């Protein structure tokens, strides 16, 4: 899904029907073309109102470039930060953090081409100094200062001690 933004909430979405790589000069626009490199162009279906507006909250963050999401993200997001959650695994982690009162913030990386068989998340869950991101078949990538990266399943993450100091 591609989002159209309003100042206080995302209220519209459209299905991406096709994706093409084209030269910048081939895209008709009112803006002056300064660079003529390859660009990604989305062919969209009709723009429709989404069932529930997704509000911009104070402190919310989405990358300035690449504001798009999956249908899953658009249907489940309750704030603009959550729009970037694109995989079921990211949503399972978010729901577990909420259910256990664990403090977190979300930071999305720009979108990238995905392996459809093994999708990876682009959102880092910040739990204080610990950062967690879904890494496809590897499980969840855990980054902690002064430690080697670690990969855990959601069950392994739940059993680990990294979250205990972030409970509200």
In sequence order, which ranges of the chain are alpha helices (DSSP H)?
Answer: 71-76, 88-99, 154-159
Element (DSSP H or E) covering residue 19: strand 16-23
Higher pLDDT, 74 or 138: 138
Tens-place pLDDT, residues 81-101? 788 888 889 999 999 999 989
pTM of the model as a whole: 0.69
């Amino acid at each position: 899904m591609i989002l159209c933004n309003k100042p206080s909430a995302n209220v519209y979405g459209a299905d991406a029907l096709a994706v093409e790589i084209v030269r910048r000069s081939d895209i008709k626009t009112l803006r002056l073309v300064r660079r003529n490199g390859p660009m990604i162009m989305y062919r969209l279906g009709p723009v429709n109102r989404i069932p529930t507006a997704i509000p911009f909250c104070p402190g919310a963050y989405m990358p300035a470039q690449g504001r798009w999401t999956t249908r899953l993200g658009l249907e489940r997001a309750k704030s603009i930060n959550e729009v970037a959650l694109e995989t079921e695994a990211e949503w399972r982690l978010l729901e577990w953090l909420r259910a256990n009162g664990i403090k977190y913030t979300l930071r999305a990386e720009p979108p990238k081409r995905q392996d459809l068989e093994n999708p990876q998340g682009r959102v880092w869950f910040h739990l204080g100094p610990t950062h967690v991101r879904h890494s496809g078949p590897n499980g969840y990538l855990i980054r902690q200062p002064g430690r080697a990266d670690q990969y855990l399943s959601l069950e392994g993450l739940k059993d680990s001690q990294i979250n205990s100091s972030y409970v509200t």
